[in-house]
Amino acid sequence: MSLLRQVLLDSHRIAALSAVEWDLLVRQARHANLLGRLYRRLQAADLLAQVPERPLHHMESAAVMADRQHMLVRYEIRFLRDTLAGLGLPLILLKGAAYVVGDLPAASGRVFADMDILLPRERLPEVESALIMTGWIGEPLDAYDQRYYRQWMHELPAMRQMHRGTALDVHHTILPPTARLKPDAQALIRDSVEIPGSPGMRTLQPTDMVLHSACHLFHDGESENLLRDLSDLDLLLRHFSREPNFWPQLVSRAAAMDLQMPLRLALRYLVQVLACPVPDSALQALKAERSQGVAEHTLDWIYSRTLRPQHSSTRDWATPLCRKLLYIRGHWLRMPPHLLFVHLARKAWVGPTTISAAALQNDPR
């Protein structure tokens, strides 16, 4: 078990760490994007006094960076709210921005690069125009990628604020329309809830926030932040489940939304990896207590590696294979076979066509 997971399961584990173990813990947490959250966790448990100076500085630094991003998000969303209000639409925040503005525990120490918002699909053209008028511009994409997004994806190509550099993803649902599972986007929007104290700003209702997070965790082919995403879910569930009836509501909402598969996987791995207190009734209702069939056992094998901090110390011979399989599975779930074949063939032939942000920030000073 990775050192990071040991500490996430039991914060008091840090009392016995040597300097070399602290070194490893900081590196694993940084690679899992959980360094800032680790700081907040130890702070909440009143354990910071037990952290040696050097590792403490690394954690503190990550927490400061997260705070800075949260401040930027709070600043930026007021402009977005006003832009959308002009079209008679509420601002529905998803993922990180929703956790931050909704003051949820899942915001704790969370670093994120972009804001995600949800809008009705039929309003996208006018929203896109209004955003462009207020300084949001699309990332440069070739014609193929433009069509890929607009025809097959659940979001517009990423936009960037030309004055402030903030990134924005505009979603019209939470899974691509081509995906096998078909959650009801209209219901997500209809049942969204206003954030107390933030008029005109909304989040998904608690059950839907969990389902979206689970969806993201098990559909996105990327494995960099899986443990962080699982930790988000853990914090969301521990928070929302203080409400009586939350678990039965979650289970029935998953059925109504066609999202039992991601919720089943999420709950199983939450119990296994982070000891999340999921009641047996919920696990049984979703048949999540144990894996069924070859396919699910294979998934367990893949996730046992990709849910580790993605650091050299937790890697073995099968890790690259598992990451590749996850990537293919992510696409498999999001596109029917004929589209997938054409898409992957093109990507293999032409290569990635967007310029990565990292490539642009390449000034070795």
Partner 1 sequence: MRVDQLSLPQVQAALTGAGLRVATGPFNCRLQSDIAAIASEVAQNYAHHRLLGPEEFIDFHVAVNTSRGLRRWIRPQALFSVDGVEPFTPLPRDQALPMIEWGLNWCITAYSNHVLILHAAAVARNGRTLILPAPPGSGKSTLCAALVNRGWRLLSDELSIIRLDTGAMLGLARPVNLKNASIGVIQRFAPQALFSRPVHDTTKGTVAMMAAPQASVEAVDEPAWPAWMVLPRYRAGASTTLTPMPRGEAFMKIADNAMNYHILAAEGFRAVGDLVDRCQHFSFEYSDLDEAMQVFDQLALSTADANIV
Token code pair at residue 51: 């952290």
Closest by Cα among 98, 115, 111 to 169: 115
Applying the rule CB under 8 A, the residues between 29 and 48 that interact with partner 1 are: 30-31
Burial 185-221 (b: 16+ CB within 10 A, else e): beebbeebeebeebebbbbbbbbbbbbbbbbbbbbbb
User: Which lies closer to partner 1 via its Cβ, residue 122 or residue 363?
Assistant: 363
Q: Is 360 in the site for partner 1 (CB under 8 A)?
A: no
CB of residue 32 to partner 1, shortest distance in Å? 13
CB of residue 53 to partner 1, shortest distance in Å? 9
Q: Is 245 in the site for partner 1 (CB under 8 A)?
A: no
Sequence-distant (6+) residues with CB within 8 A of 160 are 136, 137, 138, 139, 166, 167, 168
DSSP label at residue 109? T
CB of residue 243 to partner 1, shortest distance in Å? 34
Amino acid (one-letter) located at 206: P
CB of residue 65 to partner 1, shortest distance in Å? 6
User: Which lies closer to partner 1 via its Cβ, residue 108 or residue 241?
Assistant: 108
CB of residue 228 to partner 1, shortest distance in Å? 16
Count other C-beta atoms under 10 Å from residue 286's C-beta: 21
The torsion angles phi and psi of 198, rounded to 5 degrees, stand at: -130, 75
Of 37, 40, 41, 58, the one binding partner 1 by CB under 8 A: 58
In contact, 38 and 228? CB cutoff 8 Å = no
Q: Is 163 in the site for partner 1 (CB under 8 A)?
A: no
User: Which lies closer to partner 1 via its Cβ, residue 21 or residue 184?
Assistant: 21
Per-residue binding string, partner 1, 298-317, x by CB under 8 A, is -------------xx-----
Interface segment toward partner 1; rule CB under 8 A; list 55-63, 137-145, 204-212, 232-240: 55-63
Q: Is 71 in the site for partner 1 (CB under 8 A)?
A: yes
Closest by Cα among 132, 181, 178 to 155: 178
Distance CA 236, CA 229 (A): 11
Of 55, 90, 102, 157, the one binding partner 1 by CB under 8 A: 55
Distance CA 232, CA 212 (A): 11
Q: Is 76 in the site for partner 1 (CB under 8 A)?
A: no
Residue whose tokens read 């959980």: 34
Interface segment toward partner 1; rule CB under 8 A; list 14-22, 150-158, 252-260, 278-286: 14-22
CB of residue 27 to partner 1, shortest distance in Å? 5
Distance CA 102, CA 50 (A): 31
Q: Is 358 in the site for partner 1 (CB under 8 A)?
A: yes
User: Which lies closer to partner 1 via its Cβ, residue 143 or residue 359?
Assistant: 359
Q: Is 67 in the site for partner 1 (CB under 8 A)?
A: yes
User: Which lies closer to partner 1 via its Cβ, residue 36 or residue 96?
Assistant: 36
Closest by Cα among 146, 127, 145 to 136: 127
Task: Kindly give the residue spans of alpha helices, DSSP state H, lying in the chain.
Answer: 3-9, 19-31, 35-44, 53-85, 95-101, 124-133, 143-147, 185-190, 206-219, 226-240, 246-256, 260-274, 280-285, 293-306, 319-334, 337-350, 357-360
Q: Is 20 in the site for partner 1 (CB under 8 A)?
A: yes
CB of residue 314 to partner 1, shortest distance in Å? 12
Q: Is 54 in the site for partner 1 (CB under 8 A)?
A: yes
Of 47, 48, 65, 187, the one binding partner 1 by CB under 8 A: 65
Instruction: Please give the residue ranges that form the binding site for partner 1 (CB under 8 A).
Output: 18-20, 22-23, 27, 30-31, 52, 54-55, 57-58, 60-62, 64-65, 67-68, 71, 311-312, 358-359, 362-365
